[in-house]
Structure 1
Amino acid sequence: MTAVASDASLLASILGDIAALVGCESPSSDLDAVARSADVVAQVGMQRLAVRPERIVIDGRSHLRWRWGDDLPRVLVLGHHDTVWPIGTLETHPCRVRDGVLRGPGCVDMKAGLVIAFHAIAGLPDRTGISLLITGDEELGSPSSRALIEREATGCDAVLVLESAADGGALKTERKGVSIYQVAVTGRAAHAGLAPETGVNAAIELAHQVLAVAALADPARGTTVTPTVLSAGSARNTVPARAELAVDVRVRESAEQTRVDDAIRALRPAVPGAAIDVTGGANRAPLESVASCALYDRAVALADELGLPRLARASVGGASDGNLTAGIGVPTLDGLGATGGGAHADDEHVDVTDLVGRTALVGALIADILRRPVFAGPSRSSAGGR
């Protein structure tokens, strides 16, 4: 065990901070709960960083930002404090530590990551050039914070995302991009018993479209196209005049996102008289390995210097705000938060034994980037500034 990993005092402080954050429930859809959570996150952050954050409220959603230095930041440390868990979850899933495992709603996704960020930055003698942005709507797809995240990342040398690690502590060097569509079918109602032939059955048309959409998947390229929520009709004895289909698309490559988008927009009716309307589109571009490879190599070298286990890399299907920063051309490394598992599930948990080492790694990586820039991303002027 390394000296870093054996620092019992630091570990106790980290665990206490995680418990404080997990103890304030913050479901994304509850604006008051997210505001209360922002209060707690700000308080814990102030205790560790000795600086009050800027509170940014957009469409009623509470985000927090710390900045150090008079110039625009060079390293963006990114996280979120909202969760998927409803108020009252703590009654059945209390925050507790047992046998080296911490449990509680939102612990691994991603309140432990926020605490790692606080302690990592607190340990740096010079914080000039760092921005720490913690948003309150990531689990909803970042509707209010997306522009804020992209503005804050523009011009940075690197973005470090404190989402949880992949299995075994692997860093997330690739994330799939996400597209979301709604396919609406309009037919014509008719009595199902008296004159069904005079109607145009939107449900039958939707069945054709479900098969057409599903056929766009390409498993060999990691592209999934999944029909999800379907609805049709208004009464048992009426030919459906309306039907709708939700579609979830995940892709590893930007070219695949474009291919699927073109194909979905080109859908045409198979049932005479039916009409199709497609809405939606790309929500997040893929985080491709080219955006993360240089940062990953640095993290591996630093982990070796710190005496930590060698870091693996992983490609995952879920998206994060790292997709947004990679999508504007800024080097981005994800999965730097806690190791554990069970995100969004009843067995959500954090591996306590890795917390101190992970904190040391994040701090070392920030300091290394500030010393040696990775890559000058798109300029703020070319991106419309702030």
Structure 2
Amino acid sequence: MDLTTLGADMTAALPEMLADIEALVTCESPSSDLAALARSADTVARIGAQRLGVAPERIVLDGRTHLRWRLGDGPPRVLLLGHHDTVWPIGTLTTHPFAVATGVLRGPGCFDMKAGLVLAMHAAARLPDPSGVTILINADEEIGSPSSRTLIETEATGLAAALVLEAAADGGALKTERKGVSQYEVAVSGRAAHAGLEPERGVNATVETAHQVLAVTALADPDRGTTVTPTLMSAGLTSNTVPAAGEFTVDVRVRDVAEQHRIDAAMRALQPTLDGARVEITGGPNCPPLAAEASAALYARAVAVAADLGLPPPIRAAVGGGSDGNFTAGVGTPTLDGLGAVGGGAHADDEHVLVAELPACAALVAALVAGLLDEASAGPSPAGRSRRSRTRSRE
């Protein structure tokens, strides 16, 4: 790949990138709407086929359409990963229309992460030989990838790298560390009684729930970056009855697997405080951490590639939110996240993309992939991965 002209090539392609982003953003795709996701998949597939010269496989799981391109004839080496679902409901375009003004692109899902999908396609399209590249775009990342997690982990296993086109962190930083996520539900059972006539005959589930909330909160360890946050909570049915039941949910974020295991053991060891109360714990770890060591070599490579392209060295950031990159790192694949658009406002009214940064982002991804492919082709094929032929559409 000629790095001396890559930046100029991507700049020349900017009008096409903007048109592709507009097509994706104006096709609304909330995670909860299967029909909308099917329409979005059609749009993503059409744009990808136009840019890559080949149609994707359509993989429908639990009614959700995921898309996969396996490019070229060689064994899989590099995974480009993204999602086409968003948090925005149908009709958001009426209040948050697609627009580009004074160098800023706006619209629901533009930053998280439809611009990233376009960057992946344009980057792959510029490769002299894309053989060994897999592009996987799922339809349920915003709700934790329940149907696509196994697909993602299978595709990532044994590869040289997984590059995640999620939006960059503040200031365009690459995401080199993500916390692991666990989610729990704590159900409390007591005994109902009349609150005015004989409250002593009851076992107050509200009081027991309060004890459990305090116990759960105490599990956090700020020095290790571990947060344990009670979130939704409810108890009781009427204002004059000792509550017989209560429940709350718990969001856990950790930097390392050891902490995830510690919190899990502690949650399952919770015991009731009140005589006669019962506590039931469900849930558990949802995704493993993306630890700094999983991204260190790829980040160093990105810094070197940026220098070769004449770009400023990318900065890095550790973030609390999870992504599908947690799953790829969890199966042992080197993973670099945040290679998508530069901007801000994910999940917020001010969601936006900085237009001028798009060509550089695409050039960085293309050069990273090209280097990884060149390096991988010089060595043995990843263990356990068979050669797979060029993708044909699976309707």
TM-score for both structures, normalised by structure 2: 0.94
The one-letter code of the counterpart of 1:33 is A
- Go from structure 1 to structure 2 and tell me whether the alpha carbon gap of 1:202 and 1:30 turns closer, same or farther (over 3 Å shift): same
Aligned residues: 380
SS where residue 164 of structure 1 aligns? coil
The answer for the alignment partner of 1:361 in structure 2 is: 364
CA shift, 1:4, in A, is 5.1
1:217 to 213, 217, 220: 220
CA shift, 1:370, in A, is 0.8
- Go from structure 1 to structure 2 and tell me whether the alpha carbon gap of 1:237 and 1:377 turns closer, same or farther (over 3 Å shift): farther
Establish whether residue 310 from structure 1 lines up as the match of residue 284 from structure 2.
no
CA contact (8 A) 1:331 1:377 kept: no
State the alpha-carbon separation in 1 of the partners of residues 211 and 380 from structure 2. 48
- Go from structure 1 to structure 2 and tell me whether the alpha carbon gap of 1:300 and 1:176 turns closer, same or farther (over 3 Å shift): same
CA shift, 1:70, in A, is 3.7
CA shift, 1:263, in A, is 0.7
Establish whether residue 31 from structure 1 lines up as the match of residue 34 from structure 2.
yes
State the alpha-carbon separation in 1 of the partners of residues 101 and 371 from structure 2. 35
User: Once the two structures are aligned, what percentage of the paired residues are identical?
Assistant: 67
SS where residue 301 of structure 1 aligns? helix
CA contact (8 A) 2:77 2:382 kept: no
The answer for the alignment partner of 1:107 in structure 2 is: 110
Q: How does 1:5-154 map to 2 (within 5 A)?
A: 5=7, 8-154=11-157
Q: How does 1:162-201 map to 2 (within 5 A)?
A: 162-201=165-204
The one-letter code of the counterpart of 1:328 is V
The one-letter code of the counterpart of 2:341 is A
The one-letter code of the counterpart of 1:165 is A
CA shift, 1:69, in A, is 3.1
CA shift, 1:71, in A, is 4.5
State the alpha-carbon separation in 2 of the partners of residues 218 and 159 from structure 1. 30
CA shift, 1:288, in A, is 0.3
CA shift, 1:44, in A, is 0.6
CA shift, 1:308, in A, is 0.9
Establish whether residue 332 from structure 1 lines up as the match of residue 335 from structure 2.
yes
The answer for the alignment partner of 1:262 in structure 2 is: 265
Unmatched tracts of structure 2, length 5 or more? 386-395
Moved over 2 A (4+): 2-9, 69-72, 373-381
CA contact (8 A) 2:72 2:129 kept: no
State the alpha-carbon separation in 2 of the partners of residues 378 and 6 from structure 1. 34
TM-score for both structures, normalised by structure 1: 0.96
After superposition, the CA RMSD in angstroms is 1.6
CA shift, 1:6, in A, is 5.3
2:326 to 318, 323, 328: 323
Unmatched tracts of structure 1, length 5 or more? 382-386
SS where residue 149 of structure 1 aligns? helix
The answer for the alignment partner of 1:384 in structure 2 is: none
CA shift, 1:373, in A, is 3.6
- Go from structure 1 to structure 2 and tell me whether the alpha carbon gap of 1:127 and 1:86 turns closer, same or farther (over 3 Å shift): same
State the alpha-carbon separation in 1 of the partners of residues 137 and 221 from structure 2. 35
SS where residue 372 of structure 1 aligns? helix
CA shift, 1:9, in A, is 3.0
The one-letter code of the counterpart of 2:245 is R
1:233 to 233, 236, 240: 236
CA shift, 1:195, in A, is 1.1
The one-letter code of the counterpart of 1:18 is I
CA contact (8 A) 2:7 2:309 kept: no
CA shift, 1:234, in A, is 1.0
Q: How does 1:337-356 map to 2 (within 5 A)?
A: 337-356=340-359
- Go from structure 1 to structure 2 and tell me whether the alpha carbon gap of 1:132 and 1:290 turns closer, same or farther (over 3 Å shift): same
